[in-house]
Amino acid sequence: MSGVGVGLGRQAGGMRLFDAHCHLQDQRISAVAPQLIRTALDSGVQRFAVNGVSEADWHIVKQMGDEYPSIIPCFGLHPWFVAERSPNWHKSLREFLAETPVAAVGEIGLDKGSRGKMIDFTEQIDVLRQQLQLSKELKKPVSIHCVRAYGDLLQIMSSTGPFPEGAILHSYMGSAELVSGFAKLGSYFSFSGFLTSMKPQKAKKILKSVPKDRILIETDAPDGLPTVNSSSLIPIPDVASKGESEDQFTNSAAEETSLSREALNHPANIHNVLSYVATLLEMPEEEVAELSFQNAMRLFSYPGSKISSDG
């Protein structure tokens, strides 16, 4: 990629941002990932935690982490892909993490949503427990997906925790009442554009309940597009013009999200998440940006990480 956008982000207006959870390896945007990374870096995003979701994409995430100093690779088995795991999935995951000391664990989790309901919940729990234990054993932070199963998740984390290296509840949509229980176990709460789909008063109550040293922001790109301030969203490059088949793109997007190309998310849109979170917290954007940046830097400074090696 000729070194384009491989460095760390330049500060935009003095703000430093950290996308705590995204999927730049996703086939819907992978063909234009170099451009999306460069756009985000130029806007002040200095780091991206890129989460693998199955055995099929761990090698792509690893390659991205090797190529871009700004990318923190994460390997995990997402609940949607539990049914198609190989018999050797856990051994393979352990090997990826051993061969990639800079990596964290994720995305793992529980899902009782429309897609998650098709996956045996007992299997989801078993796979989740194994990965939580692995993150503890390896002293790595872990990024957790949860849809309509926060009570189950808290119970499982209580029996396997605490998590001194940190557990990211990504795109947190659980209740404010559950925050203290998760926080006591070592959880961080990451907010994405999905927060804009909630009633503002409920979203505000959740945000206000989270300890300031536990707040993160993310995009969950290519999903999680904010529904507010859409006019200021940075256009996504035309995938078809970058060597990706239009039919291939359209089909994969339709299968996964039913979203049009224009509705796909990317990391530079974290500014919209920041603006919304800052408004609800009644804090300056610069303060929330630096707060969430420092929280993410602390979380991802485990031994062997890129941040740790930066000194």
Binding site, by residue number, is 21, 23, 107, 145, 170, 220
What is the signed CA dihedral for 31, 35, 39, 44, rounded to 10 degrees? 80
3-class SS at 188?
strand
**The tokens of 24 are what?**
């730049």
Which among 272, 264, 270 is positioned nearest to 296, based on CA atoms?
270
Q: How far is CA 164 from the centre of its chain?
A: 19
Q: Annotated binding site for a divalent metal cation, which residues?
A: 21, 23, 107, 145, 170, 220
Q: Which of 257, 301, 290, 259 is nearest to 49 (CA)?
A: 301
Tokens at residue 224, please?
Answer: 């999680």
Query: CB-based burial of residue 88 (10 Å sphere; 0-12 exposed, 13-18 middle, 19+ buried)?
Result: exposed
d(CA 95, CA 86): 14
DSSP3 helix / strand / coil % (the chain, rounded to 5): 50, 15, 35
**Torsion over CA: 198, 199, 202, 206 (sign):** positive
What lies within 8 Å, CB to CB, of 294 at 6+ separation is none
Query: How many angstroms separate the CA atoms of 24 and 89, rounded?
Result: 22
